Amino acid sequence: MDITNNLITLADGNQMPQEGFGIYKITDQTELTNSVHAAYEAGYRLFDTAQMYQNEDLLGKALADLDVSRDNLFIATKVNEANQGYESAIASVKESLKKLKMDYVDLLMVHWPINTEFFNTWRAFEELKKEGLTRSIGVSNYGMIHLQYLATQAHEMPVINQIECHPWLNQKPLLKFDQENHIVTQAWSPLGRGQILDHPILQAIAATHGKTPAQVVLRWHLQNGVAIIPKSVHPSRIKENADIYDFELSDAEIAKIETINWNHRISKEPEMVYEFGEQYPYKKK
């Protein structure tokens, strides 16, 4: 097994690579094109973008330049808060598809839950899937309570929940809930934006396997059944992040990594975004 053929079957029957490539904050065309081409060469087939990232058009051009069959790609994007609502979500997804130069995406996600358009947005997603503009529908940054609330009106539940997840925030209760409800958990910032990689436990386990701490963390995610979308603009690191299929962590090593958890978020609290209806500022001014 390697990055190209390590696939997860979603609840709707579609298959998705367990490891993909994130392009958050890559907004230069040359840099993005070079990164996407390096990722494809390393075996990545899933590319994750979002309306909020303002690079859907750049990804569309990079993939067009790559000139590979659409069937060899798995493309995911997300609808931002400003575009939520029934008509707004549908219109914005059609605009995203124009930017991506595609007839459909493989996965469409609600980027953050917001209280004002919570059900209307999901109703739009169900319609977009019926129209064939997306093959699968999912959510991002939903907590357990948001998924339970969605289930009261949804005709079809999300197949993916993309959340912040790393050794500082291992999200065990939510991972268990997602699994019990046939929802694949996908980790954004799976490496904790690099802030966790100097932890002595990760350093020691990495030395044992002749791997880097980043490779150990990504392998930990895989063995927990979590999908991942690491991001880098450096070809060597892009390749390194894909080179995690030739070793396995022991149960004892996984247990040690679990002790690093202290429920620390690097980004925003989903419930506060839900209440405010937008991503709130969270750094000191």
Q: Would you give the distance in Å from CA 82 to the centre of its chain?
A: 20
- Cα separation of 162 and 22, whole Å? 12
Active site residue 280: no
Sheet strands (E) in the chain: 7-9, 15-17, 21-22, 46-48, 74-79, 105-110, 134-140, 160-164, 184-188, 227-228
Distance CA 213, CA 275 (A): 36
Angle at 84 between CA 166 and CA 75, to 5 degrees: 55
Mapped to the 3 state alphabet, what secondary structure does 145-180 carry?
HHHHHHCCCCCCCCCEEEEECECCECCHHHHHHHHH
d(Cα 75, Cα 70) in Å, to the nearest integer? 9
Query: Active-site residue among 40, 44, 53, 142?
Result: 53
Please provide the distance, in angstroms rounded to a whole number, between the alpha carbons at the two ends of the chain.
47
Q: CB under 8 Å to 187, separation ≥6 — which residues?
A: 162, 163, 164, 165, 166, 221, 226, 227, 228, 229
Backbone angles phi, psi at 161, to 5 degrees: -130, 105
User: Helix 251-258 and helix 213-223: axis angle, to 10°?
Assistant: 100
Count of residues in the chain? 285
- Catalytically active residues are 53
